[in-house]
Amino acid sequence: MEIEDHLFRREAGRMIAVLTRVFGVHNLALAEDVVQDAFCRALEVWKLRGAPDNPSAWLMATAKRRAIDVLRRERTARTFAPELGRLLDSEWTLVPVVDELFCPPEVDDGLLRMMFSCCHPKLAEEAQLALVLNILCGFSVPEIAAAFLSSPPAIQKRLVRGKRVLAAARRLFDLTDADFAMRLSVVQRALYLLFNEGYHGASAESAVRSELCLEALRLTSILAGHRLSGTPSTLALNALMSFNAARLPARVDPSGNLTSLADQDRSRWDAALVAQGRQLLTRSANGQSISEYHVEAAIASIHTNAASAETTDWEQIVALYGALMNLRPSPVVALNRAIALGRFQGPEQGLRAISEIDDVERLASYPFYFAALGEMELQLGRREVARTHFEDARQLARSEMERRFFQERVRAC
Amino acid sequence: MSEFMFLYCGGNPPTGSPEQMQKQTQKWMAWIKDLGEKGHLKEAGHPLERSGKIVKGSPKMITDGPFAEAKDLIGGYSVVLAKDLSGAAELTAGCPILDIGGFVEVRPIMRM
C-alpha cells in the first residue's frame, strides 16, 4: 500500500486539532509531541510491514492511545481542557470522552475551531498564516521560512508569539460564538492570502508555491463543507481557488519559465478543478449579498471559459473589476481593470485608465504595474518606451522566475 | 540461495517535519519493496519495541532494558535470500538506516 502524497502533513493538522481539544489549547506543545510520536511509530512499523489499509485511521488511533496514556499519567500534574472539566479525572468517563472527540465529525469540528483560533484578530495576518501553516498544515519552521522567503528565526519568533496568544485564549474558538460571522471573514481572508502567497508570492521554487495554493484550497474546502462555515462567500472563495489552482500547471512552462495568462497552454489547465469551480460558483449564488470572492471567482470563471485571450469576454471582466473596486478598492484592482479595459477597447484606453488610478504611487514597487505599461506601449509600437517600462519591471522582480519573464519582454521590444 | 538475517541497529531517532517523516517512511517502504521485487525478501520481518527485559543467570535475574548502548540497539529484522554472505551484504545498499547513523548486521542463518 502506497502512502498518498503529503498524508503526514494533512494528518498532522487533524491530529493536533483533536489533541488540543482534549489537552486544552495551552498544552499545544504536548499535542505536538503526541503527533510526532505517532509519526515515529508509523515510520517504525510501516517501514517493514508496509502501510495499513487506512493510514489516516491508523495514525488517529495511535495518537488516541498515546493521548489516553498521557492523560492517565499526567492528570494530577497538569490541567487539561477546561471544557471537559472533571470528565478526564475518572476512568469511567475518560475513554468514552476521548473516543467521542476522535470520531470523524468531531475531528472536522476540531479542525475548524483550530482554524478560527489561529485567525485571532489580535494577530497580524502574517502571524495567522504562519500559525495555520504550522499547526494545521504541518509545515515546520524552515518549511514556512522557505515558503515566505523569510528566515527561520523570524518565523520562529512569529510562531512563538502566535502560540502565546492562542494559549492565552484558554479555549479554542467556539463555533456557536456570537462573533462567528466576523471571525469567519478573518479566516476567509487568511486563506485567501495564503493562496495568493503561493500564486503570486516571492518564493522562487515553484513546488513550494503550488503547495501553499493546494493547502489553502484544502482548508477552504473543509470550511466550505461544514454546515456553519459553508456560507455563500466561503463557497465563492472555494470556487475562486479552484479556478486559479486549475491554472497552476500552465503558469510555468516545461523549461521552468513563468507564462502569462494570454500565452498559457490552456489544455494544461486542470479540467476537474475547473468543473469543481463552476459547481461551487453556482452553489455560491444563493445568498443575500455578493462578496469580493464572488466577483473574483466570476472573473476567474470567465478566463477559464475562454479558449484564448482573444476570445475572452473582456467587456464583462471590465465590469466585474468595476464591481470589485466598489467592494474592495485598491490600486492593484484598478490596475487589473485598466489591463482588461486595454484588452477590450485597445491600449490607448488602457493607458488612460492606468493614468487615472488613485494612489498610483502605491504601485511604484509593483513590477506588474510597469509590465502593464510596457505591454500597452508595445502594442502601440512605441518600442523604446515599452523597453524602459519592462526594464523597470525587471529591476523590481521578486524572484528569478519573474526576472527571466521580464527579461524576455525587454528582449521582445 | 541461502538465508540471511538483517538486523537493523542503532541510528538516531527519527526527527523532522511531517513531510520529512513521510519521506523517510516512504524511502524504507520503497527499499523493502525493491528487495521483494528482486526476489531477495524471504520475510519482511518486524520492528522491535525499544523497551524490554533482560533475563540472566541462575537463579534467574530479570532486569529492564535498555540492553545495549542506544547506538547499537536492534530496531528490527528481516530475512533475505542471497547467493552468499557478500551478496547479502551488498543488498543493504540504499538501506535508509545507513543515512541516519545506524548499521545493518548481516548474519547467515544456519540450516541443517
pLDDT tens-digit series, residues A177-196:
999 999 999 999 999 999 98
Contact indicator for B26, B93 with CB cutoff of 8 Å: no
In the block, residue with C-alpha cell 520562529: A156
The reply to whether A252 falls in a domain is: yes
Say if residues A222 and A111 touch (Cβ distance below 8 Å). yes
Whether A214 and A132 share a structural domain: yes
Verify whether the Cβ–Cβ distance A46 to B25 is below 8 Å: yes
Q: Who among A43, A49, A143 is closest to B21 (CB)?
A: A43
Q: Which of A102, A107, A117 is nearest to A171 (CA)?
A: A117
Q: Cβ–Cβ of B32/A47 closer than 8 Å?
A: yes
How many domains is chain A partitioned into structurally? 3
Residues A218 and A287 in one domain: no
Answer yes or no: do A300 and A265 share one domain: yes
Tell me which of A8, A36, A65, A215 to substitute to probe the interface with B (most B C-beta atoms closer than 10 Å).
A8
Q: Do residues A281 and A221 touch, judged by C-beta distance below 8 A?
A: no
pLDDT score at A23: 93
Q: Please report whether residue A299 resides in a domain.
A: yes
Structure confidence at residue B68 as a pLDDT band (50, 70, 90): low
Please report which confidence band the pLDDT of residue A205 belongs to, taking 50, 70 and 90 as the band edges. low
- Looking at the fold, whether A194 and A214 belong to one and the same domain comes out as yes
Closest C-alpha to A130, from A42, A38, A193:
A193
Residue of B5, B22, B35, B104 to mutate, testing the A interface (most A Cβ within 10 Å of its Cβ): B22
Instruction: Show Cβ contacts of residue A260 under 8 Å, excluding neighbours closer than 6 positions.
Output: A405
Residues A127 and A205 in one domain: yes
Query: What is the model's pLDDT at position A179?
Result: 92
Instruction: With beta carbons less than 8 A apart as the criterion, state whether A118 and A166 touch.
Output: yes
Q: Which domains does chain B have, with CATH numbers?
A: 2-108 (3.30.70.1060)
Q: Which residues of B touch A139 (CB under 8 A)?
A: 17, 19
Query: Cα(A317)–Cα(A32) distance, rounded to whole angstroms?
Result: 46
**A209 bridge partner residues:** none
The residue count of chain B comes to 112
Same domain as A211, residue A246: no
Cβ neighbours of A3 in B, within 8 Å: 22, 25-26, 29
DSSP letters for A176-201: T-TTHHHHHHHHHHHHHHHHHHHHH-
In a shared domain, residues A247 and A211: no
Cβ–Cβ gap B76/A48 under 8 Å: yes
A308 φ/ψ sector (left φ>0, alpha ψ -120 to 50, else beta)? beta
Give the end of a domain, one of A289, A310, A331: A310
A375 in a structural domain: no
Residues in B touching A12 (Cβ below 8 Å)? 18
pLDDT at position B50: 83
Tens digits of per-residue pLDDT, A308-361? 988 999 999 999 999 999 999 999 999 999 999 999 999 999 999 999 999 888
Cβ neighbors of B79 (< 8 A, separation 6 or more) are B3, B4, B5, B6, B41, B42, B43, B45, B109
Q: Does any domain span residue A372?
A: no
- Within this chain, do residues A77 and A14 fall inside the same structural domain, yes or no? yes
In terms of CA atoms, which chain A residue is nearest residue B24? Answer: A43
The yes-or-no verdict on residue A203 having pLDDT over 60 is no
Range of the domain at A92: 1-102
Cell of A244: 486559479
ipTM (interface predicted TM): 0.91
Helix pair A28-49, B18-37: axis angle to 10 deg: 10
Instruction: Kindly report, residue by residue over A131-180, the tens digit of the pLDDT.
Output: 999 999 999 999 898 888 789 999 999 999 999 999 998 889 999 999 99
Last residue of a domain, one of A222, A243, A277: A222
Q: What is the pLDDT of residue A201?
A: 64
- A263 within a domain of the structure (yes/no): yes
Q: What angle do CA B33, B34, B39 make, to 5 degrees?
A: 95
Please tell me whether residues A186 and A237 are part of one structural domain.
Answer: no
Cell triple for residue A201?
508570492
For residues A178 and A267, membership in a common domain is answered with no
**Nearest CA distance, A244 vs chain B (angstrom):** 25
User: A288: which 3 cell numbers?
Assistant: 443575500
Evaluate whether residue A75 is within a structural domain.
yes
Is A9 close to B14, i.e. CB distance below 8 A?
Answer: no
Q: Which of these ranges, A9-18, A74-83, A147-156, has the smallest mean pLDDT?
A: A74-83
Question: Which of B5, B19, B35 is the mutation pick for testing A, counting most A CBs within 10 A?
Answer: B19
Residues A148 and A95 both lie in one domain: no
SS (H, E, C) B24-41: HHHHHHHHHHHHHHCCCE
Q: Which of A195, A222, A249 is the last residue of a domain?
A: A222
- Average model confidence (pLDDT) for chain A? 91
pLDDT on residue B66 = 64
Does this model's pTM top 0.90? My answer is no
B20 and A140 within 8 Å at the Cβ level: the answer is yes
Handedness of CA B61, B62, B63, B69 (dihedral sign): positive
Higher pLDDT residue, A107 or A253? Answer: A107
Look over chain B and give the mean of its residue pLDDT values, rounded to a whole number.
Answer: 91
A108 lies in a domain?
no
Q: Indicate whether A87 belongs to any domain.
A: yes
- Domain match, A95 and A12 both: yes
Query: Are B47 and A44 in contact (CB < 8 Å)?
Result: yes
Task: Please tell me the predicted confidence (pLDDT) of residue A171.
Answer: 87
Q: What is the mean pLDDT of residues A105-128?
A: 93
